[in-house]
Structure 1
Amino acid sequence: MCGRLSQYRGIHDFVDTLAMPGAWRNNIDGPGEPRYNVAPSTPVVVLRVDEAGLRADRVKWGWRPHWAEDRAPPINARVEKVAHGAFFRAIWPHRAITPVDNWYEWVDEGGPKKQPYLIRRRDGRPALCASIGQFAGQANDGFVIITADAQGGMVDVHDRRPIVLSPELARAWLASTTAPAQAEQMALNLGEPADAFEWYRVSTAVGNVRNQGPALIQPA
């Protein structure tokens, strides 16, 4: 998964897609601008559950443990290693969902620049991406999106994909009653298949993180 995504729908749309019963808390100041071109190390809307229930926050995309200051914070974690490797051990218990409208990948097609592709759900719903993070209200808070090997035709665009869960599985992913081993099996085996998504070429303007607006998600 390449390091760029979109969150242009409102937070209420993301929460409605999750369809979790009960009240929820919006901890984001103001309605916020639609974001069509979100880069790593910037705040991203995440959904998570604490002792008071579901909440929406903006959290920095990227995280590293305190002992890994010699490297840039990763934005993704490989599902094959995330549950047992030392790097993400501290945040593996802290699960979240990152709702995205789409993400972008770049493909070398022989031109002067790599060709960007947009990937999104075929049914038009936000993609609920399995994530983990540090959510302690501290300066070094952050999160990563869990990724798996790409499948089917998606391999032609990129060899990795975020693990996107159905609303039912996303609710289970967030639930404190879901054991870590069960969450690992969900991530390994129950992500949405490649045929749940569509992808197409978009403008190379998306390569500049300063560019925003709905023109970025239109087919090139």
Structure 2
Amino acid sequence: MCDGLVQHVSSKDSLAYFAQRDTSGSRFGTSVTPLDLYETTPPKAQERHSLVKPNMQVSAIRRRGGHLECIKVRWGWSPIWSVGTMPPLTHLPLHLVMRSKVFDPIKHEGRVLVAVEGWYESQAPASPSQAPRLAYLTARQSAPIFLAALAQASETPFGCDGLALVTYGDIANQQQRVLAFSADDALDWLEPDLGWEQAQQLVARLNGTQPPLEPAQTTQRPAQGGL
């Protein structure tokens, strides 16, 4: 799971990566450029000014009328049917989103991309006596990573508005990872006709191309109130 995002480049600036790409028509089944992720030392304290945590505003990219546009939205979505009964949703499993009718409106109109430099991911401790740890994940290439997300962003600000990152992985063991793309294949997530079968194909392609994460330094989970 993702505990925090590092977003140095705004979504508006990251649109440049799509400037030469045709966003119309289906791209399913095309080749995928591997997203070479690795664990590295977390950014230094002075570089954390762009750290985004749940309940903070995040920049995102969505498609409207065949064009890509940028929006600002809170990380944490509160569906109208959950208000007052559960905290805002920060993550949603792909299989649940694509197969449950409860999410029909947002999965059709609310799919967005979040451009990040990297993110902090929870790591299970080697033993019960050790403190939980966070690993900082980023890409070797000098380009943004695009995370799949769902966002409700009303024209007039509304209390339910918010964003949830989409995850995938081992459901039985509750080992979920954020759905992350390079610029070469990120636009697949914004395809208007994306359905459950296409989403499965997308994840299968990512699983087949993303290399295993390399061992690297991790950091102990900090005291309450910061990364």
- TM, length-normalised to structure 1: 0.72
Question: In structure 2, what residue type is equivalent to 1:129?
Answer: L
Q: Residues 119, 20 of structure 1: CA spacing in aligned structure 2 closer, same or farther, 3 A cutoff?
A: same
% identity of equivalent residues = 21
Measured against aligned partners, the alpha-carbon deviations of 1:143-184 in whole angstroms (never above 9, x if no partner) come to 21111117xxxx9xx9221112232432232243x3435652
Check if 1:98 corresponds to 2:118: no
d(CA) in 2 for partners of 1:12 and 1:65?
Answer: 27
Question: In structure 1, what residue type is equivalent to 2:4?
Answer: R
How far off its partner does 1:7 sit? 0.7
How far off its partner does 1:188 sit? 3.4
Correspondence 1:13-162 to 2 at 5 A: 13-19=13-19, 21=21, 35-51=49-65, 53-69=67-83, 70-93=85-108, 94-107=110-123, 108-110=125-127, 112-137=130-155, 138-139=157-158, 140-149=160-169, 159-162=175-178
Q: 1:180 aligns with which of 189, 195, 207?
A: 195
Question: In structure 2, what residue type is equivalent to 1:96?
Answer: V
- Is the 1:37–1:209 contact (alpha carbons within 8 Å) kept by the matching residues of 2? no
Measured against aligned partners, the alpha-carbon deviations of 1:33-71 in whole angstroms (never above 9, x if no partner) come to 964432112111111111272111211112132111201
d(CA) in 1 for partners of 2:162 and 2:20?
Answer: 23
Q: Residues 64, 188 of structure 1: CA spacing in aligned structure 2 closer, same or farther, 3 A cutoff?
A: farther
SS of the residue corresponding to residue 88 of structure 1 reads helix
Q: Which residue of 1 aligns with 2:4?
A: 4
User: Which blocks of at least 5 consecutive residues in structure 1 are unaligned?
Assistant: 23-32, 212-220
SS of the residue corresponding to residue 80 of structure 1 reads helix
d(CA) in 2 for partners of 1:164 and 1:198?
Answer: 17
**Range moving further from structure 2, 167-176 or 91-100:** 167-176
**Range moving further from structure 2, 39-48 or 192-201:** 192-201
d(CA) in 1 for partners of 2:13 and 2:201?
Answer: 24
- Is the 1:79–1:188 contact (alpha carbons within 8 Å) kept by the matching residues of 2? no
Question: In structure 1, what residue type is equivalent to 2:103?
Answer: F
d(CA) in 2 for partners of 1:41 and 1:187?
Answer: 29
Question: In structure 2, what residue type is equivalent to 1:134?
Answer: Q
Higher RCO (C-alpha under 8 Å, 6+ residues apart):
2
Question: In structure 2, what residue type is equivalent to 1:145?
Answer: L
Q: Which residue of 1 aligns with 2:41?
A: none
**Range moving further from structure 2, 76-85 or 11-20:** 11-20
**Range moving further from structure 2, 185-194 or 46-55:** 185-194
Q: Detail structure 1 runs of 4+ shifted over 6 Å in the superposition.
A: none
- Is the 1:109–1:115 contact (alpha carbons within 8 Å) kept by the matching residues of 2? no
User: Which blocks of at least 5 consecutive residues in structure 2 are unaligned?
Assistant: 23-46
Q: Residues 209, 38 of structure 1: CA spacing in aligned structure 2 closer, same or farther, 3 A cutoff?
A: farther
- Is the 1:130–1:173 contact (alpha carbons within 8 Å) kept by the matching residues of 2? yes
- Is the 2:61–2:112 contact (alpha carbons within 8 Å) kept by the matching residues of 1? yes
Q: Residues 11, 85 of structure 1: CA spacing in aligned structure 2 closer, same or farther, 3 A cutoff?
A: closer
